[in-house]
Structure 1
């Protein structure tokens, strides 16, 4: 099969989008939870060990509140993005799998994006999407529910055959 075509939207919306960006920030990137939780846990341990000092108490409170601050700030940024996002991200999009890459055409806004296969460094199959990354940046997400049933296996095979498997991790 030389070309695979189907219609979808370019990016997730609502609760799906929130779940994906939280996974991307806090679960895929293991460093983020570590640098936010370790200071809080250390502060709690020092409190239990009896290291009381007015300066330390203030630092303990700040370190314990920090993970909640990070989470609420990120949640607020995601909600703001969803509220003010470009309308083309949720418009119908024609996806074409070709030998040189994935072409996304949003005819309603006269937009075309070509994602070359050698741009991808990781492709995840999570939460009902194929999420394609170049290092830490998500280039494209393809909703699996929009792929016709008869094209599910050919799409997966097409990705496996065309990405540079020496540079792209396919954990599916």
Structure 2
């Protein structure tokens, strides 16, 4: 059996994405799939930058979360004209990204990358009815200001949860009694 390093890995998947600059100009680049080594660099760079700004490399520090998004976007955005087998970065650096885009745009690019990464390398896509009810109970018992694991779930699982919640909500708004019955009569 061949060792992993002898297996043809091929080129990483890429997907075009567009966003607007601060002047409203629409530009595009490719997002590429990131591997474990990329994430190692992202986390190390985000921790270093957060500490430079006086924060802590802790998942509860919003600055750290933002820096993870900055370095993810900087690493994932690829020049769409670069060869598939030799992708070139779209941004010269994370600093260039921070200097030219606002936090909302940076977070949007990072979120688009998470969705793309999840779609190409999927994990469980949803919640069972039992899992959904367990999560509802956990959310109900989570104190104000406390984080819930929801924020760390894969995008597909978050979307599954929100869809189930929306269906439940819409179902609760639907009248249960036929028109003209005692529930509809004025009190």
Give TM-score scaled by structure 2 length.
Answer: 0.25
Q: Determine which structure has greater relative contact order: mean sequence separation of CA pairs < 8 Å that are 6+ residues apart, divided by chain length.
A: 1
> Quick check: which has more Rg, 1 or 2?
2
